[in-house]
Amino acid sequence: MHPTRKLYRIKYRPGGNWELACAVCQARLSEDNPHYVYGGTISGVPRRRRKPQTTPQN
């Protein structure tokens, strides 16, 4: 799986379980696959911004 913040919930095997795939893998697994089922998109949580460091006041 490629590093990404957006994942696709898919089934791509006969009787398979739900799995998560990146956009590249989702496209590859869905192509000409009669067992492919799309189950939605999951977006990752945005990274937290670091709080600006404050210098101690004397």
Rounded CA-CA distance 39/23 in Å is 13
What's the pTM? 0.67
pLDDT tens profile 1-53: 556 689 999 999 999 999 999 999 999 999 999 999 999 998 865 556 666 76
pLDDT score at 47: 59
